[in-house]
Amino acid sequence: MNVYKSKKSKRLSVIFILTFILIIGVTIPALINDIGNEFYIVVGINLVTLLLLLSIILKTEYKIENHLLHWQSGPFFGKIDIKTITKIKHHDGIFVPTVWKPALSHIGLIITYNKYDDIYISPKNADEFIAKLFELNPTIEMT
């Protein structure tokens, strides 16, 4: 089994840090004022949001096992049969034209599989990752 961690862009790190600061900043007035049930609701929502973001940062990775590509980003996960991959395209930009984006960088790969499905991922060592996919499915088109 080959495991590939997601590349992390500096831009995304700044966004996550600002989000953490914003969420904590919004929680502080609730802590100071202790306004009853609303306090627990605000703190609960903010805690769940922080835990979700932290899990995404710490656990975004891709695994190639047998003929399956497993992807995970925090609590979200899925798998793709490598034999169904038809195309891999390099992508560099903030706006990615896919539904699934389990990636932590704006530089990555758009993988097209089945007939119309696609996913955006950003493995740290993209060349090694692509080589492993080609080894398992030499019919993949690279653009």
Note the pLDDT tens digit of each residue in 51-69: 999 999 999 999 999 999 9
Residues in the chain: 143
Q: CB–CB of 133/67 below 8 Å?
A: no
Q: Which residue has the tokens 């190639």?
A: 64
| Lowest-pLDDT choice from 24-28, 66-70, 91-95, 99-103 | 24-28
Where do the domains of the chain lie, and which CATH numbers do they carry?
1-143 (2.30.29)
Task: Give tens-digit pLDDT for 20-53.
Answer: 898 888 777 767 776 677 777 878 888 899 899 9
